[in-house]
Structure 1
Amino acid sequence: MPKVQVNGIDLFYDIKGTGEPLLLIAGFLCDHSYWSLIMPALVSQYQVIRLDNRGMGRSSAPDSPYSIQQMANDVAALLDHIGIDSVNAVGHSMGGQIAQELVIANPEKVKSLTLLSSLAKGDARFNSVIETWGDLPQSIDLQLYEKVVLPWIFSDDFYAIPAMVEQLIEWAVNYPFPPAPHTLYYHSRAILASDTKDRLQHIHCPTLILVGRQDILTPVKFSQQLAQGIAKAELVVIDRGGHGFLIESSDTVTSAMLKFLAQLPCPMN
């Protein structure tokens, strides 16, 4: 699996499938593997491009501040490197913030936008949670950190499934490419500093906004703000699942994404 040098770092990426390019950008605490459950359905129809944001997975993790715009610049440089002029861009949570900056700065590179559990700017409670998530890795181990974070990610129904959360924690603790504490700090501060609410009108491509009704981290009102600010936006609220609905309700999320993509104009030959 390849890496490319962009903006002073080594950026890991993965390409699978054939067809029209579909770019997937993961969020906080996640790398390209976060999309694994929906990959089979996507690669059957699209050329799917995933990456590890700077600081995550197998990408470089410089010990210096990161910004959402900087990570969007990383993505733009990756697309240039692999020779892709235009993509359907998908971002989850922080990845949705990155995708917004990507299309605002490079509208010609983004044919459509899908924002999953994302936001333009957080409110006071969200900011407090994210600030804490950035500070805690300096003080506690990864297992305890996951126990703190996951209640904000998954719904009551998911927690009721026997041993499911324990399995996720075990997977995270044993994952061979865990994030460094400084990465989580810098990512948290990048999220807090990001604000697109007054620039959403610069997003002109067709946009799907998906959110779980039980999302308590980026609640439905955040997605409503995105939908109100983006001219060609469609808002879909999924009844089952919280912030982690890519895991809780992967089939439903995938179906909504594919339906939206199928309705887009066919690319010119």
Structure 2
Amino acid sequence: MPIAKVNDINMYYEIQGEGEPLIFIPGLGTEISSAGLFTAKLAKKYGVIIFDNRGTGRTDKPDAHYSIEMMAEDTVRLMDKLKIEKAHFMGGSMGACILQVIAAKYPERVNSMVLYLATPRFSDALKNAMMPFLKPQKVEEGKTNQMHPLFMQKYPPTEGSLSRQLEANMKFDGRDLIGQIKAPTLIINATKDRFIPIESTEELAEVIPHAKVILVDGDHLFPMTKSELLIKPAIVFLEEMDLKY
């Protein structure tokens, strides 16, 4: 089983396909198998490196504070272990937050990046909208209802590890970082996303130099329900970037 010792955790990863490296960073609470819909298509053209973030899947779930910056460091240290100096990147939702930090702090490691369901920060209104959606519902004293899709994955997070990832998400504010991003960037967000309003997309796009923005007709689940709206423009963009390197 492909496990790398990264910082203070054992990190599970997979490499799918061959070609230029493309590092795919999953979102909140999701593990590798949940991203198979995307990575199988991307692996036809790229060597896709995907992993379980700390707190998810087969990666360790330490009972300690998590942060987006910490998960960005995990990703870069995994690159070091795999001897990947530079790569294309793709990240959604929490993965897009992690990717913003990597691109700002380690510009030499990023050829280009695709951000989707992306925001530079989580407003109070956004936090209030997300919390009931993600928090397990109490059904009676001392018990919880774990029928949320995140808990129904093959390798689900624990309630504790999901809570720690969620806290990292809620505390993230990348506004001081994104002005440092130099990598060519494509942002794919949705017009009906209750968690990522259009204003967040505009805030992100205004600060990242020359970022290209695509708004699709869908909600926060469009990558799952309308995956071609994500994969097709992402591949076109990445192929354009390949011509530059």
- Report TM bin, short chain: over 0.9
RMSD: 1.8
**Aligned residue pair count:** 241
1:252 CA drift (Å): 1.9
Distance 1:176 1:255, change over 3 A: closer
Whether the 8 Å contact between 2:129 and 2:194 is mirrored in structure 1 is no
Distance 1:18 1:45, change over 3 A: same
Q: 54-63 or 25-34, which moves further after superposition?
A: 25-34
Identify, as 1 or 2, the structure richer in helix.
1
Q: Is it true that 1:9 corresponds to 2:3 in the alignment? A: no
d(CA) in 2 for partners of 1:251, 1:176: 24
1:134 CA drift (Å): 6.4
1:137 CA drift (Å): 6.5
- Corresponding residue SS for 1:254: helix
Q: Is it true that 1:188 corresponds to 2:166 in the alignment? A: yes
Using the size of structure 2 for normalisation, the TM-score is 0.92
1:39 CA drift (Å): 2.3
Unaligned stretches of 5+ in structure 2? none
| Structure 2 equivalent of residue 152 of structure 1 | none
Whether the 8 Å contact between 1:30 and 1:56 is mirrored in structure 2 is yes
Q: Is it true that 1:84 corresponds to 2:84 in the alignment? A: yes
- Corresponding residue SS for 2:241: coil
d(CA) in 2 for partners of 1:84, 1:235: 28
Whether the 8 Å contact between 1:133 and 1:184 is mirrored in structure 2 is no
1:220 CA drift (Å): 2.3
| Structure 2 equivalent of residue 242 of structure 1 | 219
d(CA) in 2 for partners of 1:60, 1:188: 16
Q: 37-46 or 111-120, which moves further after superposition?
A: 37-46
| Structure 2 equivalent of residue 255 of structure 1 | 232
Distance 1:125 1:202, change over 3 A: same
Equivalences for 1:100-179 in 2 at 5 Å?
Answer: 100-132=100-132, 136=136, 140-143=144-147, 146=148, 169=149, 174-179=152-157
Whether the 8 Å contact between 2:104 and 2:180 is mirrored in structure 1 is yes
| Structure 1 equivalent of residue 210 of structure 2 | 232
d(CA) in 2 for partners of 1:3, 1:194: 27
- Corresponding residue SS for 1:120: coil
d(CA) in 2 for partners of 1:174, 1:202: 38
Whether the 8 Å contact between 1:130 and 1:188 is mirrored in structure 2 is no
Unaligned stretches of 5+ in structure 1? 147-168
| Structure 2 equivalent of residue 207 of structure 1 | 185
- Corresponding residue SS for 2:72: helix
| Structure 2 equivalent of residue 41 of structure 1 | 41
- Corresponding residue SS for 2:64: coil
Distance 1:174 1:100, change over 3 A: closer
Distance 1:130 1:252, change over 3 A: closer
